[in-house]
Every structure is written in structure tokens, then in C-alpha cells.
Structure 1
Amino acid sequence: MSRIDYFRDPAAPKANSVVPSVTAVVRDEQGNLLLIHKTDNGLWALPGGGHDAGESISQTVVREVEEETGIKVVVLSIVGIYTDPQHVMKYDDGEVRQQFSICFRARPVGGALRTSEESKEVRWVSPTDLETLTIHPSMRLRISHGLDAARKVPYIG
């Protein structure tokens, strides 16, 4: 299913749903960041996805990262909570979802890179190369917060 992201766009459709979701800032031993090239909107992003009933939020992080990238992780900490009502995603089926994403830091513990239905490309990216990729502004904010080692308090916004 494809989607269109609207960010601070006065012409954006009104949200009709909110789905708790997660993203993960995963860095390897060299400091590279795990990113996916998404199939639904063609943008680069942190791995993540929707929270399922019956699982803890940390289980959601572990499951989603492995599903989308093949990499197994352990959750380390919270980066922030991202709920900007001016960021909505319109899906083919008529759903217009308001952003509600909890971003975590996680450490890889195994697995091997692979794509999925949601990721047409998966790779470790040097933070110095992030500017060469097409990344949504709200995802860039999460990445910036996640890479900021001096940041001690989670973002709430």
C-alpha cells in the first residue's frame, strides 16, 4: 500500500486514525546508522512500524527492526515521542493517520541485512552521508535526536 506524507501542509487531509508506532536508531560498532529505503513512500527512514496488541513496546521495536532489516537488536533507551498533529500520512485505503511514533536507541546483536515487503533497500549509513539521502523532515528530526550523544532527556513533541 502506498502513502503520501503531509507535513505542515494546510491542504493536508484531516486525520481519521492514530496508531502507536516505533522507530529505532540502531548503530553498528563503527557508528553507522541502520536505514531502510521504504517501499510505501520511496523515502529513507529508520526501521520501525506499528505496535501490536499483546506485545510490549520494546518487543515491537525488536520485531519491527528484524522484520524490515534482518538485524536483531536489544533496546537501550528512548530518544523521544513524536506526535506532531501537522504530520499526517494518507494511505490508499482512505486512512489518514496522525503521526504517533516513539523512537528508541537499540544495539545490533545479530542477524544479517536483508530487505522485506516494506524495505526495498537496507544499509548501514555513515552519519556524514545522511544529507545525500531523501529523508522526511520528521524522520530527520528523530535521526538528529538519536545521534546526539549529549542529549539526556527524551524529546516530547
Structure 2
Amino acid sequence: MEKELAVLIAKLQGIAQTGKTYAKDPYDLERYDELKQITGQLAKLLYPTIPDDRLTVYLSADDGYATPKVDIRAVIFDQQDRLLLVQEKSDARWALPGGWADIGYSPMEIAEKETFEEAGIQVTGDRLIAVRDKAKHDYPPALIYTYKLFISCLFVEGELTSGLETSDVRFFSKTDVQKLALSEERNTYADIEMLFEDHFSPHKERINCD
């Protein structure tokens, strides 16, 4: 139920944001402002501990036509078929290197940049593995409607080193990953299973996202 409510709140926020962008009538603008306020009240009821400043950013930071945000995750395997994960300082859990897409960078460039910043190694983006609608898979409920891109990357050079947002970085076998506490906002065990299946598949479709 919580996940369904979070998606509905995200839709309401999108309607309010898009409506304010295109509405001309002052009465319509007032109604969309009221809808935005109601959306904030619903979000606060669903997540009573959410800080007011974070709620304000959620409701007002974006403008224009409302679209999903894009979360990009880099997928790097070593020669022993182990997957690279970083330990996030924010929750002490493990995740694929990655983050929100930045303006001015292609998805592959984001994957490369985030890997260097979080894991200390240089990689080159190779292909798009999957795009997932976060609301339609088994992730924790979230107010921000998100598409997740998983991009295969190839090692170029460097030594594993944690970054400003990470406390550790290692390669893990499929068995070892199952023993980890994953940062499920960023990636789930189902994601990891999908990535290992792709890695061992003899038929890898090449889809560029540069």
C-alpha cells in the first residue's frame, strides 16, 4: 500500500508542476498551487519524519513538464566474474557505483564519472543492459518517480579507492553478494541476479546510450 500511495503522490506532484507550467488562467494557476500544497500534505502524512526542507525541494525544485528522474548504475565485472560494489557512507550498505544523471553528460559518461568518483578506477561505457521503472519493481517506496539505467562498463586502469560518498569498494562473487546488506534504494538482489545472468549470457545485445 505504501508504494502505491507514493506513486500516486508522485503523479499528483507531476500534474501540479506541469499544470503550473502551461496554465494561463489565474484561477487555474491557483488551483495547481493548491494541488501542490495538498500533495505536500499527503507526502507528510505518508512520511511524517521527512524534513521540511527536503519536502520543499521535492515540491518546488523542478519546473516545466514533469518527467521521471534518471538513476544510472555502472556494472563492472573483473576477470574472475566478480561484480564491483561500493559501500555508501549514507547508509553503510552496498550498491553499484552510480547516481542521478547530470545535464551535459551522456548516460555512459555518467557511469564512467560516477565509477571514478566512487571507486577510483577508470572505465569505459560499453552497452546498456536494462532500463527499469523503479515503481514497477521491488524497490522501497519513493516519492520521486525514477527510471534506472544499468550500463555495462569495461575496466581501463586504476586502483580501487573509496571516494567522498563511499567508505569501501570491492569485487564480489554472486554468492558473496547474497550475504551483503544492499542499499535497496539503489539496487536490489533481483537487479544483481539480472546482472549476473546478463554477464554469463553468450548473447549480449549491444545497445549504445551515448
Question: Which residue, 113, 129, 134 being the options, matches 1:79?
Answer: 129
Larger radius of gyration: 2
CA distance in 1, matches of 2:147, 2:89: 20
Q: Which residue of 2 aligns with 1:116?
A: 163
The answer to whether the 8 Å contact 2:178/2:189 transfers is no
* Change beyond 3 A, Cα 1:29–1:152: closer
One-letter code aligned to 2:71: S
The alpha carbon displacement at 1:117 in A equals 2.3
Could you say what the CA RMSD is over the residues aligned between the two structures, in angstroms? 2.7
The answer to whether the 8 Å contact 2:99/2:114 transfers is yes
CA distance in 2, matches of 1:37, 1:27: 17
* Change beyond 3 A, Cα 1:59–1:39: same
**Is residue 68 of structure 2 the alignment partner of residue 21 of structure 1?**
no
TM-score, normalised to structure 2, is 0.59
For residues 62-105 of structure 1, what are the alpha-carbon distances to aligned partners after superposition, in whole Å with 9 as ceiling and x for unaligned?
A: 00111110011112221111212264666xxxxx4233210011
The alpha carbon displacement at 1:8 in A equals 6.5
Report how many aligned residue pairs link the two structures. Answer: 143
* 1:1-150 aligned within 5 A: 9=3, 12=6, 14-15=9-10, 18-85=68-135, 87=139, 96-135=143-182, 136=184, 138-148=187-197, 149-150=200-201
The alpha carbon displacement at 1:44 in A equals 0.9
CA distance in 2, matches of 1:9, 1:39: 25
CA distance in 2, matches of 1:65, 1:82: 20
The structure richer in helix per residue is: 2
Q: Which residue of 2 aligns with 1:3?
A: none
Q: Percent identity?
A: 25
The alpha carbon displacement at 1:130 in A equals 1.0
Structure 1 unpaired stretches of 5+: 1-6, 91-95
CA distance in 1, matches of 2:115, 2:141: 21
CA distance in 1, matches of 2:74, 2:120: 14
The alpha carbon displacement at 1:153 in A equals 6.0
* Higher relative contact order, structure no. (Cα contacts within 8 Å, ≥ 6 residues apart): 1
Structure 2 unpaired stretches of 5+: 14-57, 59-67
SS of aligned partner of 2:79:
coil
